[in-house]
């Protein structure tokens, strides 16, 4: 199974925050062959380790989260489902196709009024989550029987190419980054390391960041890298806050990134001839790195991001080359520990 097939397989799974287990199981199957050991912790995160076999070796933890944005059913009215959001902007929802993760799953659509019956004033208003419903084509009695309260809902699965290099679909945030970690492990397969390499597929990033923080607290790594997505360049996006798809991963610079880790990342990119972009983060990076950095006595942290268009929508898009270059950079970064003058 190649990188694109792994990504398609992971993105097809409905697994929003708090309901990640199906994605974690699939990710574990892909990760296990490249690790000495892999396990699922108490909160449901996936952890794998490849030990270098050297006494007193430092620990390097690479994280990408496996949850996605979604919805949770909170009530049923006349057969229509009411819901709360899990990291979803209400503006993204009217007329969207969704998958209600019952057993078996059922399709639905987020109901919307046609423009013909809206007033000019209403057409200018952003929808509110509490005003929206999911239509699953059922009467009240059937819906109550088939859709328990608390059932998760995700965007309908889609995965396709845009042009020759871009991949598009739901849950690219952040399963594309986890696939990049799988690719990192492949690139390091026959390389001797001076650190014990831990790969984390964390849960609950879109809701709290608890999954990564708990694992970091438990493992007490010496170094960690939060690998996530950042905003890709579009015609309507501010150039100073967006990044070019195909321009390489973005290295975070700011208080969530340890200075020597940033330099080490940039030096590795230069040595390997890997194009990178620099993302200035004046405060929280908005990634798991923010919580991981302050675990225990503090962890030296870096943030590395793949540019992604249309974040938290069912048509998230990124460049395949950025997935590969992220893996190449992480492999070079991991391999640089223990070199002369390295931390």
Which positions are catalytic?
205
Instruction: Decide: 324 and 312 in contact? Cβ < 8 Å.
Output: no
DSSP string of 155-191?
EPP-EEEETTTEEEETTHHHHHHHHHHHHHHHHTTT-
DSSP string of 294-334?
TSTT--EEEEEEEEEBSTTSTTEEEEHHHHHHHHHHHHHHH
Q: Nearest to residue 148, comparing CAs of 111, 101, 108? A: 101
For 153, the enclosing helix (H) or strand (E) is: strand 152-155
- Rounded Cα–Cα distance for residues 85 and 89 (Å): 8
**Tokens at residue 112, please?**
């919307």
The DSSP output letter for 291 is H
**Tokens at residue 152, please?**
């998760």
Residue 12: cis peptide before it, omega within 30 degrees of 0: no
Instruction: Decide: 277 and 243 in contact? Cβ < 8 Å.
Output: yes
- Rounded Cα–Cα distance for residues 111 and 99 (Å): 14
Tokens 């697994």, residue located: 15
């Amino acid at each position: 199974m190649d990188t694109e097939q792994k990504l398609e397989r992971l993105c097809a799974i409905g697994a929003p925050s708090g309901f990640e287990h199906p994605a974690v199981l699939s990710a574990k199957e892909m990760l296990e062959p490249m690790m000495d050991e892999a396990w699922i912790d108490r909160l449901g995160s996936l952890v794998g380790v490849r030990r270098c076999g050297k006494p007193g070796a430092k620990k390097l933890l690479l994280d990408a989260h496996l949850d996605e944005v979604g919805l949770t059913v909170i009530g049923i009215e006349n057969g229509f489902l009411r819901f709360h959001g899990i990291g979803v902007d209400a503006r993204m929802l009217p007329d969207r196709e969704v998958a209600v993760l019952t057993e078996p799953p059922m399709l639905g659509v987020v109901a919307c009024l046609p423009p013909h019956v809206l007033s000019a004033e209403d057409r200018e208003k952003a929808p509110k989550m509490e005003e929206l419903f999911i239509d699953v084509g059922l009467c009240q009695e059937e819906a109550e029987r088939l859709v328990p309260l608390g059932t998760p809902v995700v965007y309908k699965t889609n995965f396709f190419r845009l042009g020759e290099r871009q991949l598009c679909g739901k849950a690219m945030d952040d399963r594309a980054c986890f696939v990049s970690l799988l690719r990192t492990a492949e690139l390091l397969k026959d390389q001797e390391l001076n650190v014990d390499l831990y790969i984390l597929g964390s849960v609950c990033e879109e809701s709290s960041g608890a999954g990564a923080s708990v694992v970091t607290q438990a493992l007490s790594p010496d170094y960690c890298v939060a690998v996530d997505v950042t905003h890709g360049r579009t015609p309507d996006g501010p150039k100073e806050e967006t990044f070019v798809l195909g321009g390489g991963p973005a290295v975070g610079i700011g208080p969530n990134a340890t200075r020597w880790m940033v330099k080490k990342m940039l030096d590795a990119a230069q040595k390997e001839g890997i194009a990178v972009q620099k993302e200035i983060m004046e405060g929280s990076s908005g990634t798991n790195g923010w919580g991981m950095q302050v675990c225990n006595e503090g962890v030296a942290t870096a943030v590395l991001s793949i540019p992604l268009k249309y974040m938290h929508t069912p048509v998230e898009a990124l460049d395949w080359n950025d997935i590969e270059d992220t893996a190449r950079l992480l492999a070079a970064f991991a391999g640089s520990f223990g070199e002369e003058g390295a931390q």
